[in-house]
């Protein structure tokens, strides 16, 4: 590597400072978006959990055969809904989801199961598109506008129909979820079939429902709401975790830039001292030669 002149080092330091200003600004933007996303997430989680509790209670008193989304069968064909971000610069946020997807798909295929991927997020589409995976659907730029149930109703409705028609035997969700402001975790959850956890010791204490007009009609509406809202929650969880991951990544980048500036400033000072010393030696030698 050629030795850099003080001028070159100074340019390098200025370039790092420019990068540091960008990462600092991106951290501030992500922090602001995170606060807004956390408010949306706080409003989403209670409804999602209450909806699950309702289905959990109803499952104790209804015949699972009355609704196709409650039927459990052997898993031969599986759909995987893979949720990543559209953008990078968020540390290992996207790669964690991709790695977990690859490992899980490999395991299921070794068991003789066929796996289809439903990709949500540009990073997932870019990674899996030209590789040997069965891709059923691709969605990009869904985070550009505010997340809403119109998109999840479209995706959820198609998934539910395929399951009801017995084209698939299970549906799984893979996405990142916010744990604390500074941490997130990649989660794998089963979306279909709906398998409520029933505590039979407390079964007698559960509220018995009088279902009108009929169990079939009520369950039909509840199943739609459940699937659509679980997808919506997964997207909100992923979006919130993305802002947290990017805020952390930009904070780390800002601090690393600061350390790099200190390092190169020391190098610059040494190079400048060497240049001054060399110039003084040249002046002394020239003076001695004249005299």
Asked whether residue 290 is assigned to any structural domain, the reply reads no
Q: How many CB atoms lie within 10 A of CB 49?
A: 11
Whether residue 241 is found in the same domain as residue 253: no
For CA atoms 286, 289, 290, 291, the dihedral sign is positive
Q: What pLDDT, on the 0 to 100 scale, is given for residue 7?
A: 85
Residue 173 phi/psi, 5-degree rounding, is -110, 135
Alpha helices in 129-200 (DSSP H): 149-164
Pick the closest to residue 231 from 72, 81, 52, 125 (CA basis).
81
Q: Report residue 176 as tokens.
A: 């990142």
Both 102 and 214 in one domain: the answer is: yes
Check whether residue 89 and residue 170 sit in a common domain.
yes
| Residue 79, strand partner residues | 116, 171
What pLDDT, on the 0 to 100 scale, is given for residue 199?
Answer: 56
Two structure tokens written together for 138: 């691709």
Summarize pLDDT for 167-209 with one digit per residue, the tens. 999 999 999 999 988 889 999 999 888 776 665 545 455 455 6
Mean pLDDT in the chain? 85
Using alpha carbons, select from 172, 142, 164 the residue that is nearest to residue 154: 142
My answer on whether 152 and 202 are in the same domain is yes
271 and 178, same structural domain? no
* pLDDT at residue 67, as a whole number: 74
Tell me the whole-structure pTM to 2 decimals. 0.84
Domain check: are 113 and 210 in the same one? yes
Q: Is the peptide bond before 156 cis (omega within 30 degrees of 0)?
A: no
* Structural domain for 268, as ranges: 6-18+249-285
Cα–Cα dist 192/170, whole Å? 5
Are 126 and 217 part of one and the same domain?
A: yes
Q: Are residues 53 and 187 in the same domain?
A: yes
CATH of the domain at 279: 1.10.287.80
DSSP 146: P
pLDDT of residue 290: 73
CA–CA separation, 239 and 86 (whole Å):
10
CA dist 238 and 226 (Å) reads 18
Query: Would residue 117 count as lying in a domain?
Result: yes
Q: Which residues have a Cβ under 8 Å from the Cβ of 71 and sit 6 or more positions away?
A: 64, 65, 193
Beta bridge partners of 176: 186
pLDDT digit string, tens, across residues 107-145: 999 999 999 999 999 999 999 988 889 999 999 988 876
Say whether the peptide bond before residue 8 is cis (omega within 30 degrees of 0): no
Task: Name residues of the chain where pLDDT drops below 70.
Answer: 1-2, 59-64, 145-146, 196-212, 214-216, 291
């Amino acid at each position: 590597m050629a030795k850099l002149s003080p001028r070159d080092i100074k340019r390098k330091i200025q370039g790092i400072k420019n990068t540091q200003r960008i990462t600092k600004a991106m951290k501030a933007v992500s922090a602001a978006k995170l606060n807004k996303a956390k408010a949306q997430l706080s409003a989403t989680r209670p409804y999602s959990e209450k909806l699950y509790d309702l289905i959990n209670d109803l499952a104790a008193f209804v015949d699972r055969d009355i609704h196709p989304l409650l039927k459990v069968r052997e898993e031969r064909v599986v759909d995987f809904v893979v949720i990543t971000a559209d953008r990078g610069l968020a540390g290992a946020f996207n790669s964690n989801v991709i790695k977990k997807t690859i490992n899980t798909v490999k395991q299921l295929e070794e068991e003789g199961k066929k796996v289809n991927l439903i990709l949500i997020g540009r990073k997932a589409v870019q990674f899996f598109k030209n590789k040997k995976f069965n891709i059923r659907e691709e969605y990009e730029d869904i985070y550009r506008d505010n997340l809403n149930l119109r998109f999840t109703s479209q995706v959820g409705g198609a998934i539910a129909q395929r399951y009801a028609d017995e084209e698939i035997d299970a549906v799984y969700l893979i996405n990142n979820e916010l744990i604390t402001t500074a941490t997130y975790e990649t989660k794998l959850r089963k979306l279909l079939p709906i398998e409520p956890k029933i505590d039979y010791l407390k079964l007698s204490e559960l509220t018995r429902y009088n279902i009108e007009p009929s169990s079939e009609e009520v369950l039909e509406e509840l199943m739609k709401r459940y699937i659509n809202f679980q997808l919506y929650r997964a997207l909100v969880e992923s979006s919130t975790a993305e802002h947290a991951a990017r805020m952390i990544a930009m904070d780390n980048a800002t601090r690393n830039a600061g350390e790099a500036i200190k390092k190169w400033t020391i190098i610059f000072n040494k190079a400048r001292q060497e240049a001054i010393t060399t110039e003084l030696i040249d002046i002394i030698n020239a003076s001695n030669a004249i005299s």
